[in-house]
């Protein structure tokens, strides 16, 4: 009887914990969602800085032996970072699919594509067996990383300087085709709107305090 009472008490305690934890988790997820895409921009900026630092470290190995364990380890680290960037961009794409904002879907799909294009270039560097193959692979990798960084800047450029009044929404307005750089398929001009429906691109955080 005592064992049954103990099991019943443990079940009730577990249920209570779940019921109290669920609203907190939902609130945390809602807060994170409301801060998007700026929250993810900060994460992406950190990951891209790490990726370029890893790229520079790899170049210091380029002058050494063609086959080294250090180069393989460096490529593994770069591949991991590129995968993380891919996942963050993919999460933003899915967020704007749920919000049904097609420009957001487009711009983050492009970013995810650029991150995925880095992966095979990293593998080519790791597998290079000759000096000429290594030099070519690193050149191609450099181009892939530049394209990824450019697409990130196209999406995020100026977001940190956006100052909106309380109650407004931050908004990515698509740049006009004549204002795009040659390497930018799509880009944002961040500003403020009074209502989400007035944003012709996709909305960012809602400003709840001045």
Q: What is the pLDDT along the chain (210 residues), one digit of tens a residue?
A: 444 543 443 344 443 444 334 445 444 454 557 899 999 999 999 999 999 999 999 988 776 665 578 889 999 999 999 999 999 999 999 999 999 999 999 999 999 999 999 999 999 999 988 889 989 999 999 999 999 999 999 999 889 889 999 999 999 999 877 667 666 788 999 999 999 999 999 999 999 876
pLDDT at residue number 12: 40
pLDDT at residue number 11: 45
Q: What is the DSSP letter of 175?
A: P
Cα angle for residues 172, 90, 142 (degrees, 5° grid): 90
Which residues, in sequence order, are CB contacts of 155 under 8 Å at separation 6+? 37, 41, 107, 108, 111, 172, 187, 188
pLDDT at residue number 160: 87
Q: Is residue 66 reached through a cis peptide bond, with omega within 30 degrees of 0 on the bond before it?
A: no
Distance CA 142, CA 6 (A): 62
pTM: 0.81
**Do 85 and 44 form a contact (C-beta atoms < 8 A)?**
yes
Q: Thinking of the domain 33-206, which architecture would CATH place it in?
A: Up-down Bundle (1.20)
pLDDT at residue number 32: 53
Q: What is the CA radius of gyration of the chain?
A: 23
């Amino acid at each position: 009887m005592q064992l049954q009472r103990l099991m019943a008490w443990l079940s009730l305690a577990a249920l209570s914990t779940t019921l109290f934890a669920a609203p907190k988790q939902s609130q945390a997820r809602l807060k994170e969602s409301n801060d998007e895409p700026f929250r993810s921009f900060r994460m992406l900026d950190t990951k891209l800085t790490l990726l370029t630092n890893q790229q520079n470290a790899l170049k210091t190995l380029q002058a050494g032996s063609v086959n080294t364990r250090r180069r393989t380890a460096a490529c593994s680290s770069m591949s991991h970072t590129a995968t993380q960037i891919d996942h963050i961009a993919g999460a933003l794409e899915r967020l704007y699919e749920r919000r049904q904002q097609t420009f957001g879907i487009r711009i983050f799909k492009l970013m995810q594509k650029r991150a995925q294009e880095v992966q095979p270039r990293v593998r080519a560097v790791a597998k290079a067996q000759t000096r000429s193959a290594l030099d070519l692979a690193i050149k191609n990798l450099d181009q892939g990383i530049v394209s990824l960084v450019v697409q990130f800047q196209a999406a995020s450029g100026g977001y940190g300087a956006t100052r909106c009044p309380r109650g407004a929404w931050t908004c990515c307005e698509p740049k006009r085709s004549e204002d795009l750089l040659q390497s930018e398929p799509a880009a944002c001009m961040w500003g403020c709107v009074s209502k989400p429906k007035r944003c012709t691109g996709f909305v960012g955080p809602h400003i709840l305090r001045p």
